[in-house]
Amino acid sequence: QVQLVESGGGLVQAGGSLRLSCAASGRAFSVLTMCWFRQAPGQEREFVEGVSASGDSTYYADSVKGRFTISRDNAKNTVFLQMISLKPDDTAVYYCAARFSTTWPPVGRYAYWGQGTQVTVSS
């Protein structure tokens, strides 16, 4: 029902910036809670940041506070993750995820996932 495709990952030096994009299919995007997860090698998948369906509310993990910003453009069915001041510890596969639940904060189970995009931050 919901297809998600991430893009924008790559290799960046510490202190640099990247902007990830997640394009969603269908007409349901405007009612979906969207978020980004990440998984580093040997680590558990962790929640990064989420945004409400309207874009009015965001919620983020302490590890990215002040550095990452999630946003969405419902007219384009796209959610973004703007990452600045990147650190080597940010290196991970980043996944876009979606759910219809409006429960806040937007942590927990997500029904729809993208394929992931690799972010590598060199020291």
Chain centroid to CA 102: how far? 17
Q: Summarize pLDDT for 100-123 with one digit per residue, the tens.
A: 999 999 999 999 999 999 999 999
62-83 core/surface letters (b: 16 or more CB in 10 A; e: else): eebeeebbbebeeeebbbbbeb
Rounded CA separation 115/4 (Å) = 8
The set of residues, in sequence order, having a beta carbon less than 8 Å from that of 27 and lying 6+ positions away, is none
Which tens digits make up the pLDDT trace of 19-68?
999 999 978 899 999 999 999 999 999 999 999 999 999 999 999 999 99
